[in-house]
């Protein structure tokens, strides 16, 4: 059936288009699609029989059926686009919220806590294991002192 | 004594609406660990206020303006504690009271034996914990999936109790906001070739944590999050 091939091709193409292609190129394609849609819409309003004629060319009974199929394809592509955009928006919200949380937080270790933090410790930044004498035997899971 | 041993440790506690148990959890943690970072993921039950009361016991409170999910809360905590130059180790600890402070101590100590990451596991033989068969089999399934996708030999992929050294924390960069971050952490371990091990830990499945915990159906969401990126 011709319509099955066309529909599957359309779905695959749209799917591929969702995954690849960025920015300007996709925007241009979307605009071309919009123009094509407008032309087809106006034509089918002026000349309703023409849709049926096209439908019959590709082994679909009526023009209304063809319209339905096209609508389904467009709807799913819309969902896919929406999903991607939502994901991007979510990432932005996360970044902003994290920045707000970090900006409002007190400094991790204020310098005026001599009781707890030893201010001048050897720099342990980026070091895998801080040098300490008590590492012997830690590999075995035993119950440590409380 | 303990204060000096764990002075380079930050405990990161992601919190979302845990007011009924948070005080007990922070009580237990601050008794051992001098530095605790609570990331309040926009709770609306006063959890943040409880954490703020512990400010003079080394608890630092960070507040997300909107709810983002546990993975995002962890990452926020990681970025915060990286701002402390004397931080060398981080322990992640769930706020719902299912973890044991002694286990956190053991994980933090185990790091110093030359590991970048120590993962708490419910399934390492030593300590069994009571859980129903649907949950058990689901977790096993998650483990099987993770073993295939990351080729890490781990026995428990979704345990909130972990210890990471500074290098590992800096490499995490979690982007999965929801619960899929558990698998993402393992992916990072694989990608970066971090040295890891597992340590048996106890889990307290109280009525509270059961009610609060992950509904089984959420596994579907986690799977989709991981597959559709």
- Determine the average pLDDT of the residues in B77-85: 96
How high is the ipTM of this complex? 0.81
- How many helical (H) and strand (E) elements, i.e. helices and strands, does chain A have? 4, 0
* Under 8 Å between Cβ of A18 and A81: yes
Residue A116 clears pLDDT 70, i.e. is over it? no
**In Å, how far is B80's CA from the nearest CA of chain A?**
7
- φ, ψ at A45 (rounded to 5°): -75, -45
Contact between B118 and B198 under an 8 Å Cβ cutoff? The reply is yes
State which fold the B2-227 domain adopts: Spore Coat Polysaccharide Biosynthesis Protein SpsA; Chain A (3.90.550)
Q: What is the mean pLDDT of residues B146-156?
A: 77
Residue B22: pLDDT over 60: yes
User: For chain A, which residues make up each domain, given as ranges?
Assistant: 2-76
Instruction: Name the B residues in 45-104 with CB < 8 Å from any A CB.
Output: 55, 58, 60-66, 68, 72, 75-76, 79-81, 83-89, 102
Average pLDDT, chain A: 73
The C-alpha of A31 sits at a distance from chain B's nearest C-alpha, in angstroms, of 27
- Of A33-47, B39-53, B160-174, where does mean pLDDT reach its minimum? A33-47
pLDDT category at B76 given cuts 50, 70, 90 is: very high
* Gyration radius (Cα) of chain A, Å: 31
SS3 B47: helix
What value does the mean pLDDT take over residues B158-174?
94
Task: Give which of B87, B95, B62 is closest to A99, Cα–Cα.
Answer: B62
Rg of the Cα atoms in chain B: 16
Average pLDDT in chain B: 87
Least confident of A6-15, A114-123, B189-198: A114-123
Quick one: which of B103, B84, B95 has its CA closest to B7?
B84
Per-residue exposure over A108-135, b if at least 16 CB sit within 10 Å of its own CB, e if not? bbeeeeeeebeeeeeebeeebbbeeeeb
Share of chain B above pLDDT 70, in %: 90
From the list B62, B89, B116, which residue is nearest A105 (CB)? B62
In percent, the amount of chain A with pLDDT more than 90 equals 14
Q: How many CA atoms lie within 13 A of B172 on its CB side?
A: 32
Top-confidence range, A22-36, A130-144, B215-229: A22-36
3-state secondary structure of B152: coil
Digit-coded pLDDT (tens) for A47-89: 878 888 888 888 888 888 888 888 888 888 888 888 888 989 9
H helix intervals, B33-165: 47-52, 70-81, 101-111, 133-150
pLDDT band, very low/low/confident/very high, at B152 (cuts 50, 70, 90): confident
pLDDT surpassing 80 at residue A134: no
Q: Where are the domains of chain B?
A: 2-227
Q: What pLDDT band is residue A122 in, cutting at 50, 70 and 90?
A: very low
Angstrom distance (rounded) from CA B219 to CA B5: 38
- The answer to whether residue A19 neighbours chain B at the CB level (below 8 Å) is no
List all residues of chain A from 79 to 108 with a beta carbon under 8 Å from chain B: 83, 90-91, 93-94, 97-98, 100-102, 104-108
Is 50 exceeded by the pLDDT of residue B204?
Answer: yes
Task: State mean pLDDT over B80-85.
Answer: 96
Pick the more confident residue, A122 or A17.
A17
């Amino acid at each position: 059936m011709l319509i099955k091939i066309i529909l599957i091709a359309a779905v695959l193409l749209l799917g591929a288009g969702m995954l690849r292609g960025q920015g300007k190129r996709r925007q241009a394609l979307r605009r071309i699609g919009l123009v094509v849609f407008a032309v087809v819409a106006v034509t089918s309003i002026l000349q309703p029989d023409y849709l049926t004629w096209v439908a019959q060319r590709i082994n679909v009974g009526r023009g209304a059926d063809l319209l339905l199929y096209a609508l389904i394809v467009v709807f799913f592509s819309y969902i896919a686009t929406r999903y991607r955009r939502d994901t991007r928006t979510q990432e932005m919200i996360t970044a902003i919220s994290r920045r707000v949380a970090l900006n409002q937080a007190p400094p991790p270790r204020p310098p005026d806590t001599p009781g707890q933090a030893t201010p001048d410790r050897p720099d342990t930044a980026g070091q895998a294991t801080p040098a300490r004498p008590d590492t012997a035997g830690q590999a075995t899971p035993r119950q440590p002192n409380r | 004594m303990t204060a000096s041993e764990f002075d380079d440790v930050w405990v990161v506690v992601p919190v979302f609406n845990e007011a009924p148990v948070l005080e007990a959890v922070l009580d237990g943690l601050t008794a051992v660990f001098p530095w605790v970072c609570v990331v309040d993921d926009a709770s609306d039950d006063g959890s943040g206020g409880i954490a703020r009361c512990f400010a003079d016991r080394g608890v630092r409170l960070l507040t997300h303006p909107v709810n983002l999910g546990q993975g995002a809360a962890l990452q926020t905590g990681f970025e915060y504690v990286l701002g402390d130059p004397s931080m060398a180790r981080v322990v992640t600890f769930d706020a719902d009271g299912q973890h044991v402070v002694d286990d956190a101590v053991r994980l933090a100590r185990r790091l110093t034996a030359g590991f970048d990451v120590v993962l708490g596991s419910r399934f390492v033989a030593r300590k069994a914990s009571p859980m129903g068969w649907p949950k058990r089999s689901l977790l096993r399934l998650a483990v099987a999936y993770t073993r295939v996708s990351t080729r890490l030999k781990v026995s428990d992929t979704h345990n909130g109790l972990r210890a990471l050294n500074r290098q590992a924390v800096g490499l995490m960069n979690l982007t999965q906001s929801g619960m899929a971050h558990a698998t993402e952490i393992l992916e990072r371990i694989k990608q970066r070739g971090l040295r890891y091990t597992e340590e048996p830990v106890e889990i307290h499945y109280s009525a509270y944590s059961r009610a609060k915990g992950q509904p089984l159906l959420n596994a579907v969401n986690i799977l989709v999050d991981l597959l559709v990126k």
